[in-house]
């Protein structure tokens, strides 16, 4: 049985201008199957965060031929172009989990409240068993009553992963989730993250600059070809990295 | 964060905003204190506005001295006029006054020597001058003294004073005395005169006594003011006509102004009776005011030796014949006709009532000769005449004789007294069997307008009635200007305070949103849309505003108690009497507190709008990009 695509992008362009400098990101073809673990790798300024913003429905493309998100197993497909912000917010709320660089936990909530926040926003009750299992797997079950400020960097990232998965989203986007932790911890977090998402059948898109971290782990890898046309104009083209392809 | 199926996104946002404030409690406390620093003086200002300032405003605007209106000229004011004035919306109180000259007494405290002369001023229940200056309205047998009157007498509340009204009868001084208990002493604010306030009937009694009359209720002896007859003219029947000169002499300085000759038909029409056709009949009459007995004597003197028969004449007076229960038997028109000393047969008088058989009082029988056709029950009957202000009822006997005219006849003197009833108040005194005069009206009044704002319209009303009055209009203008000034200053201060609160809230909440930009973007990324997160700073503003208000309320409570306890003695001293127990210098009624709380929350919410607008512009992508 063919795997459904969670993301399908074709000829998606995002143009940005800041301080007289123009940046153009082109995504000619971008597909991620449901349940796949995809990594977007690249150096600073190549456009990986811009791509993640678009995939995370936090930034609208300038133009696109195709930009659809399909919710695996639910026969729901969203055409993203032209949707209003409240509608995009609704898709984000229901179907996407986010793991941010330093966790992105709200400092005024406890770890428990942070983790349950997506469930609360979605009006989901009876998620306690699921969340308890998650936090045990992530080894933060004893940190639940604390405020995020009292957690170590690794614990914060694990709590962020728990929050991203608490409401069972079909898609999780992670932006450099291990940037703020040491290498062994980073590897442990990624392994944990991958095994958890695999078990839950979650499609994962992870941005990282650390190729080693995802090599051998990611099902797919995307990178960028950066072309500095002039001092004021940079064009970056995203493509899938297959079998040792160069950035 | 758990959301049950019943809780809304709004509820979640509220909990988040509350938890955020709690998390940053020190900063929240600082914001609350900042708000309360502006609100507390504002609440104290409002407290003073609704406390001492409102009290002072009412004290000034309701001060009876400023509301008093007094007539500048003496005039007769009928009781009905007072009733009409009492009905007016702009009149708070009115009491009649007697003539000023009759309103003085000498008084001393019983058992003490040394008497003083005082003005006697009437009062009645509801008198604002007394009630708002520390005294109750005196009951019968009581009086209220002004501060200076009490000082002069050395009198205190509860003392009994002896007051005596004096009069000169012939060359003899007479005094009518009465005792009154001092029910109260007015504050200096009420009056700087030596005056004694008593019920109106006491003042009327004093005036009556000074006029030489008796006041039986107080045991004061004197005369009784008996009613006297007035006539509209005379009918003169003579054997020979008068010359023109003689005619002229009858209305030259006699009290009559016109003369005319009547034939018998005209006489019948005018007076209801006829005389022999051989007689020459004149009608002598007045055009303006009626003539008294003196005028009749003048004419009698001038016709002495002419064999003239004189019939005092009045225009017919409408009356009712009633039974003892006051039920009307018949409507009648009365005229006077007497036969005594008039040789009725010699002049051919028709009809010629014989009053001798009728009851007589003071030589005047109370009897009536009715027209034919009126059935009278066999019981005591009465005549009832309606005057301008009241009814005059008296018993009459019915002559067996009847007249063929439509007119009923009564003795001339009785007719003259009924004519007087048209201009004076008369009552029939059964105990002495006489008609006596009683008060027609009052010489003046004490009037208090409902508020100082009603004084000028009332002044214009009296001016339109050609009644010049004294008012404190200049003082009132000053008070109104002062009130306006104070209100303006208050609202300016309040405006500055409110502007300060708004600026403080806007700055604090905007800064707070700027600091929380990352948290806001994370919340947006999680799925809370801009319009939903819009409420976050609004809720926080409202919570901080409420907190600031409650903190201000605590401060207000402490400071208002201090103000209320510290300043009262100074103001009591300033006023010269203790303020009422319920008056607080600084107070906020519950309703005003609730309004202030609602106002604070509303203003906080409005101030938070600017911060809320900023929240809607925070992009969810900022959560990712800020990393």
Instruction: Return the closest-CA partner of residue B310 out of B301, B323, B318, B300.
Output: B300
pLDDT tens track for B235-287: 999 988 999 999 999 988 888 999 999 999 999 999 999 999 889 999 999 98
- Does the CB of B6 have a partner CB in chain A at under 8 Å? no
Instruction: Measure in Å the smallest separation between the Cα of A109 and chain B Cα atoms.
Output: 7
Q: Which residues of A touch B530 (CB under 8 A)?
A: 85-86, 89
The per-residue pLDDT of chain B, averaged, comes to: 87
Position B385 pLDDT exceeds 90? yes
For residue B19, give the chain A residue with the closest CA.
Answer: A108
pLDDT digits (tens, 9 = 90+) for B396-431: 999 988 998 889 999 999 999 999 998 888 889 888
pLDDT in tens, chain A (247 residues): 456 788 899 999 999 888 888 999 999 999 998 889 999 998 888 888 889 889 988 888 999 999 999 887 778 888 888 888 888 888 988 999 999 887 889 999 999 999 999 999 998 888 899 999 999 988 899 999 999 999 988 899 899 999 999 999 999 999 888 877 788 888 888 888 888 888 888 999 998 888 888 888 888 999 999 888 888 889 999 988 875 433 3
Q: What is the pLDDT of residue B4?
A: 46
Nearest chain A Cα distance for residue B500, angstroms: 29
Mean pLDDT, to the nearest integer, of B105-110? 92
Dihedrals phi, psi of B106, to nearest 5 degrees: -100, 140
> What residues contact residue B328 under an 8 Å CB cut-off, 6+ apart?
B320, B321, B322, B384
Confidence band of B362 (pLDDT split at 50, 70, 90): low
Contact of B27 with chain A, judged by CB distance below 8 Å, is answered with no
By three-state DSSP, how is residue B498 classified?
A: helix
Bridge partners, residue B262, by sequence: B281
Asked if B334 and B368 touch (Cβ cutoff 8 Å), the reply is: yes
CB contact under 8 A, B525 and A58: yes
Mean pLDDT of B303-323: 92
- Closest chain A C-alpha to B56 CA, distance in angstroms: 51
Confidence check: pLDDT of B583 > 50: yes
Strand ranges in B233-348 using DSSP code E only, listed in sequence order: 233-238, 258-262, 280-285, 309-313, 317-322, 328-336
Strands across the sheet with B381-386, in order? B367-368, B391-398, B381-386, B317-322, B328-336, B407-410
Q: Which residue of B has its CA nearest to A163?
A: B526
pLDDT at B582: 64
Q: Which chain B residues are Cβ-neighbours of A101 within 8 angstroms?
A: 627
**What is the average pLDDT across B554-572?**
84
Could you tell me which of A54, A79, A60, A76 has the C-alpha nearest to residue A68? A79
Going by C-beta distance under 8 Å and a sequence separation of 6 or more, which residues neighbour residue A71?
Answer: A6, A77, A78, A95, A170
* Angstroms from B9 CA to nearest CA on chain A: 7
Task: Provide the pLDDT for residue B209.
Answer: 92
CA distance B51 to chain A (A): 44
B543 to chain A, minimum CA–CA distance in Å?
Answer: 16
> Inter-chain contact A58–B24, Cβ cutoff 8 Å?
no
Q: How many angstroms separate the CA atoms of B96 and B447, rounded?
A: 9
Please say if the pLDDT value at position B5 is more than 50.
no
How far does CA A210 lie from the centroid of its chain? 15
Answer whether B1 sits within 8 Å of A117, measured CB to CB: yes
8 Å CB contact of A107 and B519: yes
CA distance B361 to B372: 26
Contact residues, chain A, for B625 at CB < 8 Å: 49, 53
Flag whether pLDDT at B67 surpasses 70.
Answer: yes
ipTM of predicted assembly, 2 dp: 0.88
Interface contact B524-A121, CB threshold 8 A: no
Per-residue pLDDT, averaged over B540-551, amounts to 92
Nearest CA in chain A to B6: A123
Region B300-327: mean pLDDT is 92
Task: Using an 8 Å CB-CB cutoff, list chain A residues near B517.
Answer: none
| A176 chain-B contacts, CB cut-off 8 A | 627
B16, A109: Cβ pair inside 8 Å?
A: yes
The predicted structure's pLDDT at residue B574? 67
CA dihedral defined by A203, A207, A212, A213, rounded to 10 degrees? -60
pLDDT of the residue at A245: 37
Cis peptide before B351 (omega within 30 of 0): yes
- The confidence band for B510, taking pLDDT boundaries of 50, 70 and 90, is confident
Q: Choosing among B624, B625, B626, which should be mutated to test the A contact, i.e. which has the most A CBs within 10 A?
A: B624
Least Cα distance to A50 among A33, A83, A31, A26 occurs for A26
- Choose from B1, B11, B515 for mutation: most chain A CBs within 10 A: B1
Contact A149, A107 (CB under 8 A): yes
How crowded is residue B580: how many other Cβ atoms within 10 Å of its Cβ?
Answer: 8
> Which chain B residue is nearest to residue A88, measuring alpha carbons?
B527
The per-residue b/e assignment along B449-469, b for 16 or more CB within 10 angstroms, e otherwise, is bbebebbeebbebbeeeeeeb
> How many Cβ pairs within 8 Å bridge chains A and B?
109
Nearest CA in chain B to A54: B621
pLDDT attached to residue A244: 42
Mean pLDDT of B138-143: 93
């Amino acid at each position: 049985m063919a795997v459904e695509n969670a993301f399908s992008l074709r000829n998606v362009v995002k143009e940005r201008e800041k301080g007289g400098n123009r940046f153009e990101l082109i995504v000619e073809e971008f597909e991620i199957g449901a349940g796949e673990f995809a990594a977007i790798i690249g150096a600073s300024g190549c456009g990986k965060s811009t791509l993640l913003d678009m995939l995370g429905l936090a930034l609208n493309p300038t133009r696109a031929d195709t930009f659809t998100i399909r919710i695996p197993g639910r026969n729901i497909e969203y055409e993203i172009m032209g949707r209003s912000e409240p509608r995009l917010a609704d898709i984000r709320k229901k179907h996407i989990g986010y793991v941010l660089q330093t966790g992105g936990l709200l400092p005024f909530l406890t770890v428990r409240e942070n983790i349950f926040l997506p469930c609360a926003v979605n009006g989901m009750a009876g998620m306690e068993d699921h969340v308890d299992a998650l936090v045990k797997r992530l080894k933060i079950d004893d940190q639940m009553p604390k405020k995020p400020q009292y957690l170590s960097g690794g614990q914060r990232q694990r709590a962020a992963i728990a929050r991203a998965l608490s409401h069972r989203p079909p898609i999780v986007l992670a932006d450099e989730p291990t940037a703020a932790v040491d290498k062994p911890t980073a590897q442990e977090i990624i392994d944990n993250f991958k095994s958890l998402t695999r078990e839950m059948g979650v499609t994962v898109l992870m941005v990282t600059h650390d190729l080693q971290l995802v090599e051998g782990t990611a099902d797919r890898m995307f990178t960028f070809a950066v072309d500095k046309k002039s001092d004021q104009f940079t064009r970056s083209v995203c493509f899938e990295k297959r079998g040792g392809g160069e950035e | 964060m758990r959301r049950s199926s019943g809780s809304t996104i709004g509820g979640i946002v509220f909990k988040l905003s509350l938890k955020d404030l709690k998390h940053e409690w020190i900063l929240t406390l600082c914001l609350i204190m900042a708000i309360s620093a502006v609100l507390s003086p504002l609440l104290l200002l409002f407290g003073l506005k609704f406390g001492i300032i409102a009290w002072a405003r009412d004290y000034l605007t309701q001060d009876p001295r400023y509301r008093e209106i007094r007539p500048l000229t003496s005039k007769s004011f009928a009781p009905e006029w007072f009733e009409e004035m009492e009905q007016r919306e702009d009149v708070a109180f009115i009491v009649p006054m007697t003539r000023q000259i009759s309103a003085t007494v000498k008084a001393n405290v019983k058992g003490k020597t040394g008497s003083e002369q005082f003005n006697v001023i009437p009062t009645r229940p509801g008198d604002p001058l007394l009630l708002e200056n520390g005294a109750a309205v005196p009951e019968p047998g009581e009086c209220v003294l002004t501060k200076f009157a009490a000082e002069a007498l050395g009198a205190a509340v509860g003392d009994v004073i002896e007051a005596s009204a004096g009069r000169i009868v012939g060359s003899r001084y007479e005094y009518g005395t009465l005792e009154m208990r001092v029910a109260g002493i007015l504050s200096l604010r009420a009056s700087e005169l030596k005056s004694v306030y008593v019920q109106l009937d006491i003042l009327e009694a004093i005036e009556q006594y000074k006029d030489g009359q008796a006041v039986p209720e107080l045991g004061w002896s004197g005369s009784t003011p008996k009613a006297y007859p007035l006539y509209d003219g005379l009918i003169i029947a003579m054997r020979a006509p008068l010359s023109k000169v003689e005619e002229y002499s009858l209305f030259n300085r006699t009290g009559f102004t016109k003369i005319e000759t009547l034939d018998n038909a005209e006489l019948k029409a005018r007076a209801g009776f006829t005389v022999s056709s051989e007689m020459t009949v004149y009608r002598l009459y007045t055009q303006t005011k009626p003539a008294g007995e003196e005028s009749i004597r003048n004419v009698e003197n001038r016709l002495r030796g002419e064999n003239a028969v004189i019939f005092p004449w009045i225009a017919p007076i409408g009356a009712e014949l009633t039974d003892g229960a006051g039920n009307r038997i018949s409507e009648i028109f009365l005229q006077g006709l007497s036969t005594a000393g008039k040789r009725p047969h010699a002049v051919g008088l028709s009809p010629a009532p014989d009053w001798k058989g009728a009851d007589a009082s003071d030589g005047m029988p109370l009897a009536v000769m009715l027209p034919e056709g009126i059935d009278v029950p066999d019981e005591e009957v009465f005549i009832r005449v309606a005057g301008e202000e009241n009814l005059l009822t008296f018993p009459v006997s019915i002559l067996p004789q009847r007249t063929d005219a439509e007119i009923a006849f009564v003795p001339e003197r009785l007719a003259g007294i009924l004519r007087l009833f048209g201009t004076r108040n008369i009552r029939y005194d059964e105990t002495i069997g006489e008609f006596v005069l009683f008060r027609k009206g009052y010489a003046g009044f004490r009037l208090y307008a409902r508020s100082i704002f009603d004084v000028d319209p009332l002044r214009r009303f009296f001016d339109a009635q050609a009644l010049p009055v004294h008012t404190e209009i200049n003082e009132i203008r000053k008070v109104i200007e002062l009130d306006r000034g104070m209100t303006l200053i208050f609202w300016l201060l309040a405006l500055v305070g409110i502007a300060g609160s708004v600026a403080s809230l806007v700055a604090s909440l905007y800064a707070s949103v700027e600091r929380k930009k990352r948290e806001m973007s994370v919340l947006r990324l999680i799925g809370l849309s801009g319009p939903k997160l819009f409420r976050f700073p609004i809720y926080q503003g409202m919570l901080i505003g409420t907190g600031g208000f409650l903190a201000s309320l605590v401060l207000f409570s402490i400071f208002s108690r201090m103000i209320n306890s510290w300043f009262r003695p100074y103001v009591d001293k300033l006023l010269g009497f203790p303020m009422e127990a319920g008056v607080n210098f600084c107070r906020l009624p519950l309703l005003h507190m609730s309004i202030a709380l609602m106002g604070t929350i509303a203003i906080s919410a409005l101030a938070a709008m600017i911060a809320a607008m900023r929240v809607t512009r925070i992009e969810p992508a900022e959560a990712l990009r800020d990393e």
